[in-house]
Amino acid sequence: MLRRFMPYLLRYKKILFLDLCCAALTTVCDMVLPLIVSYLTTAATEPAVVLTVEMVLKLAVLYLVLRMIDAAANYYMANTGHVMGVYIETDMRRDAFEHLQRLGYTYYANNKVGQIMGRITNDLFDVTEFAHHCPEEFFIATIKIIVSFVILCRSSVSLTLIVFACVPLMMVVSIALNRKQRDAFRKQRYQIGELNAQIEDSLLGERVVKAFAAEELENEKFEKGNQTFQKIKKKTYQYMALFQTSTRLFDGLMYLVVILAGGLFLVYGKIAAGDLVAYMLYVSTLIATIRRIVEFAEQFQRGMTGIERFYEIMDAPIEISDAEDAEALKVTKGQIELKDVSFEYPDDHNRVLRHVNLQIHSGEKVALVGPSGGGKTTLCNLIPRFYDVTAGDIFIDGQNIRQVTLKSLREAIGIVQQDVFLFSGSVAENIAYGKPDATREEIEQAARLAGADSFIQDLKDKYDTYIGERGVKLSGGQKQRISIARVFLKNPKILILDEATSALDNESELLVGESLEQLAKGRTTLTIAHRLTTIQNADRILVLGKEGIEEEGTHDELLHEKGIYYHLWNGLHLE
């Protein structure tokens, strides 16, 4: 995991190098103090050395200069070092979001939005601290441990070996408890993602909750998840407490070894008093270093968990992407052809379409009808490559859609769906989604063509009116006409209408239907319809069923055949 994280860190290697240099400077400043104290103690107790005022002042000035250097280096580490962590967090969040934009429908069908949001927000907060402190803390610890070991060995090799014998045992215990902490943090992150998903579901479905008076049910569901999170967090703190307690015990053990063994060495004349004072100071520095690493361990585990969950997103396979030799789609007529197309969903292998052959001519209006599950929406989803066909090929103006770029393919297709999604923002911003560089005149013209200008003019701020999250301040018909306006602005050659009026009342259906007729003029149009009255004037009607295209013809032709369409039209149920 760390190896995969390194490219993000090395993007800022200059900042990292200066940060580690500053860390080295602060470490040197810390390590000099015991030497100064040892020198003063030895000078005061040894007859061969004369301690003078001048000597004390020189040492004081030296230490003052070192502390000033330490302050400047520490400022750089605290400021620029943390900013480097912010840069890395920003890069990772951008990469995660870009990867999410490329993932297919299958990924979103199997993952909760709350979990995904947690991974690219909260989880990456901890990476900022991790990215800055991880190299810094381990670099400082390495220097201090090595320097302490070398200097302590100069005073007494035997005593140093006795003290350092405690370190391996400490490492074994720490690693074992660290693993438990990491598992606990992983569970904690997962559960907070579940809570986020549950809160999102409840808030977005607020009207349904109130309609069914299900507030208590939602509270119970939330409380269950909240209690689970509480238990996991309690367990996390238990492991943290064990971890910190074990390190304090080892601290005490190392001090005990110094007092006992150092005192005996002093009694038997194997170490000088000044050296023992310096020894104690260096052991204190060593213990403080180990304690700092221990305290950082919680942050380290949080950061590692964040990185791990980040890579779970990045490792999600991109199912649909451009071929290596893909070229931009050139649409001149808008003719669509399906050759022996079969499809089954990749996650559950549910086969929906079998050996479908279909040719839709330029400017033709084709309607798809049939029972639910017959593959109407699936067929339309295959044309813009929301899913890839399992077998067969789809062509637009003779070009295989798997050999053209996704961007050019989807730019050539306009889609109006039953479930309209509007973004939080103004009316104008939502219409302009079809063409981000559109002028206000173009936006208003698209709205007029969609029959939306009249109601927009009645809004408080007209085109600058804030419509709320998902357009909650607008009616269903108004939202649908705005969605039609943005397709007008996009001006595609091919149009897909996915039950665009089925959720509307009669008056709204009439208004939106007129807008759709205007939109369909001169475009190759596929319409999915449950209300058969809306597609009577289609050039061709296809009845999809388990065996693929089971009937085909105009409205009058299909009624004359008295087959599936005839029974659907008359509201009869087939046995």
Residue ranges covered by each domain of the chain: 2-314, 412-536
Q: How far apart are the C-alpha atoms of 381 and 319, rounded to whole Å? A: 14
pLDDT digits over 470-523, tens only?
Answer: 666 777 778 888 888 888 888 888 888 887 665 555 666 677 677 777 777 888
Residues whose CB falls within 8 Å of the CB of residue 61, separated by 6 or more in sequence, listed in order: none
User: What's the mean pLDDT in 121-149?
Assistant: 81
Q: How far apart are the C-alpha atoms of 404 and 535, rounded to whole Å? A: 31
Q: How far apart are the C-alpha atoms of 252 and 542, rounded to whole Å? A: 82
Neighbours of 35 (CB within 10 A): 14
Residue-level pLDDT at 211: 64
Highest mean pLDDT among 10-14, 164-168, 267-271, 518-522: 10-14
Share of the chain above pLDDT 90, in %: 1
What are the tokens at 314? Answer: 């990045």
DSSP class of residue 573? P
Domains 2-314 and 412-536 share a fold: no
Q: How far apart are the C-alpha atoms of 365 and 390, rounded to whole Å? A: 26
Q: How far apart are the C-alpha atoms of 546 and 548, rounded to whole Å? A: 6
The kind and range of the H/E element at 151 are helix 122-155
Question: Which pairing describes strands 413-417 and 399-400: parallel, antiparallel, or unpaired?
Answer: unpaired
Where is pLDDT greater, at 436 or 394? Answer: 394
Residue-level pLDDT at 574: 44
| Ordered DSSP codes for 43-80 | HHH-TTS---HHHHHHHHHHHHHHHHHHHHHHHHIIII
pLDDT digits over 144-173, tens only?
Answer: 888 878 877 877 788 778 877 777 777 777
What are the tokens at 3? Answer: 């190896």
Query: CATH top-level class for 2-314?
Result: mainly alpha
What are the tokens at 345? Answer: 């969903």
pLDDT above 80 for 178: no
Q: How far apart are the C-alpha atoms of 182 and 238, rounded to whole Å? A: 13
Q: Do 376 and 528 contact (CB within 8 A), yes or no?
A: yes
What are the tokens at 159? Answer: 């005593």
| Ordered DSSP codes for 389-441 | -SEEEEEETTEEGGGB-HHHHHHTEEEEESS----SSBHHHHHGGGSTT--HH
User: What's the mean pLDDT in 53-66?
Assistant: 84
What are the tokens at 140? Answer: 């400082």
Please, what is the end-to-end C-alpha distance for the chain in angstroms? 58
Residues whose CB falls within 8 Å of the CB of residue 468, separated by 6 or more in sequence, listed in order: 424
Establish how many alpha carbons lie within 13 A of residue 434's alpha carbon, considering only the half-sphere containing its beta carbon. 27
Neighbours of 209 (CB within 10 A): 16
Where is pLDDT greater, at 306 or 45? Answer: 306
Instruction: Give CA separation, 210 vs 197, 207, 421, 476, 504, in Å.
Output: 19, 5, 22, 19, 22
pLDDT above 50 for 354: yes
Establish how many alpha carbons lie within 13 A of residue 121's alpha carbon, considering only the half-sphere containing its beta carbon. 9
Torsions phi, psi of 139, nearest 5? -65, -45
pLDDT digits over 551-564, tens only?
Answer: 888 888 888 888 88
- Band (pLDDT 50/70/90 cuts) for residue 573 is very low
Q: How far apart are the C-alpha atoms of 62 and 40, rounded to whole Å? A: 14
Residue-level pLDDT at 480: 80
**412-536 belongs to which homologous superfamily?**
P-loop containing nucleotide triphosphate hydrolases (3.40.50.300)
Residue-level pLDDT at 395: 92
Sign for the pseudo-dihedral over CA of 250, 253, 258, 261 = negative
User: What's the mean pLDDT in 33-56?
Assistant: 71
Chain-wide mean pLDDT for the chain?
80
